[in-house]
Structures are given as C-alpha cells and as structure tokens.
Amino acid sequence: MNESVDTDTLSMLKEVMEDDFQLLVSTFLDDAQLRIPQLFEEFNAGDGEMLRQTAHSLKGSSSNLGAVRLSELCFQVEHRAKENQLDGLEDVLYQVKAEFDQVRSILEGL
C-alpha cells in the first residue's frame, strides 16, 4: 500500500471496472478539483453545514478509490464542521489540498 493510495483497492477496481476504470478515475479527479476550492470557500464563509456536506462527499469518493489518507483528512474536516469547531481548520484544509495533489499524481500515472 502506498501511503496515499491503497494499491490493493485500485487493483480490485481495475479488475471489476475494466474499461470504465479510467472514467472512474477521471470523474473522481474532476470532482475533487471542484470540491477542494469549495471547502475553502465554505470555510471562509463560516458555513459549517455546507463544509460538512462537501467534506462528507469527498471523504466517500476518496475512500471508494482507495485514497485512504485523503479520506481520513476529509473525515476530520467533516467532524469538526459538524461540531462547528472551525478554529484551526484551515490547516487541515491545506493538508487536504496537499494530499489530493499526491493522490492526483499517483492516479494520473496509472
């Protein structure tokens, strides 16, 4: 397992999805590239509920694709937004962005 992506999960998805695997990866990358800036916008607006929803969605799609660390970071954002604990959350959002950059590099190399 890579630190950012569970290669066993990717292998299973490739086997099950066959020709649709690349579409799955492209859809995930496109969606995440929209959602990450959205997380920052919602944080800056102080909209904890929308921040929670966006983080929840990204958490699920990351987990499904084997992006374990990204999913864990999104869980932190989701949980803290749900509890309205936004102080210091911006640091976690930057970690989400950095981790997504790692995941994107790995997935684009497949």
Taking the complete model, does pTM exceed 0.85, yes or no?
Answer: yes
How many degrees, rounded to 5, is the angle at CA 60 between CA 59 and CA 61?
Answer: 95
- Domain spans of the chain? 7-108
Q: Which two tokens stand for residue 42?
A: 């919602």
Superfamily for the 7-108 domain: HPT domain (1.20.120.160)
In the block, residue with structure tokens 């803290």: 80
Convert the pLDDT of each residue in 97-106 to its tens digit: 999 999 999 9
Convert the pLDDT of each residue in 34-89 to its tens digit: 999 999 999 999 999 999 999 999 999 999 999 999 999 999 999 999 999 999 99
Separation CA 110–CA 27 (nearest Å)? 15
Separation CA 37–CA 35 (nearest Å)? 6
Helix (H, G, I), strand (E, B) or coil at 65: coil
